Amino acid sequence: MNCIIIDDEHLARVIIKTLCDKIKFIKVVDEFSNAMDAIKFLNTNNIDLIFLDIHMPDFNGVDFIKTLKNPPKIILTTSDSNFATQAFEYDFIVDYLLKPIALPRFKKALLKAQSQRTGSNKTILDLEIKNDFYVNIDRRLVKINLESICIVEAKGDYIHIKTQEKNYVVHSTLKKIEEKLPESLFLKVHRSYIINITKIVDIEDNTVLINRDVIPVSRSKRPGLIKRLDLL
């Protein structure tokens, strides 16, 4: 499911984005600090789910809901429990999450949203957390913990995955590997490199230092890298 996040608090958006990155079938396509910008986005884009904060300045979540002609599914996120009864008067509101949001409760809300959208009863296994993935090495499937990955480097027809403990060589493409990596941890900084942004030791000009490896950063990728670092 493609979703957007609407919340005036920067930290709240980061937390929801991080939770979404742990779920396989959910993808955050954009986030907004105010409802008006979200309305403009929805005028030209279709999405499946909205994470919506109720209390926002100027144009709050309730006002936003009233503007929707063909609303997608909505999960409300708030620190205020007083709106819960009123919220469920709308059929498209599938759940009401009180901040701070815990992962088990978050998974339950997504399960409801997914089952209502598809009309099927998904099991909780469909919400498996992305903690690791498998790669094919010498006819063996080897499990790699995602958080242990420092660098992913493309070399010809092979991919070099460098972790804290070990390096792996996989016959694949950088694009295929990138699709398996959560955006909350990883960023493609060069046509040949993906890095774990939590492993950065130093940044200088158009390079980053991870462990003892100096990784080039493309000029076009540097603004995105700096923006991501502001979230840490």
**Which percentage of the chain shows pLDDT scores above 90?**
40
Q: Residue 30: its pLDDT value, please?
A: 96
Q: What is the pLDDT of residues 121-132, one digit of tens each?
A: 444 434 444 567
Average pLDDT, the chain: 85
> Can you list the alpha helix ranges (DSSP code H) found in the chain?
10-21, 35-42, 61-67, 84-87, 103-118, 174-180, 222-229
CATH 2.60.40.1220 fits 132-229, yes or no: no
Q: Which amino acid is at 192?
A: S
CA–CA dist 94, 113 (Å, integer)? 6
The residue with greater pLDDT, 10 or 137, is 10
Q: How far apart are CA 102 and CA 106, in angstroms?
A: 6
Instruction: Kindly list the domain boundaries of the chain, sorted by start residue.
Output: 2-127, 132-229
Please state the CATH superfamily assignment of the domain spanning residues 2-127 in this structure. Response regulator (3.40.50.2300)
Quote the pTM value: 0.54
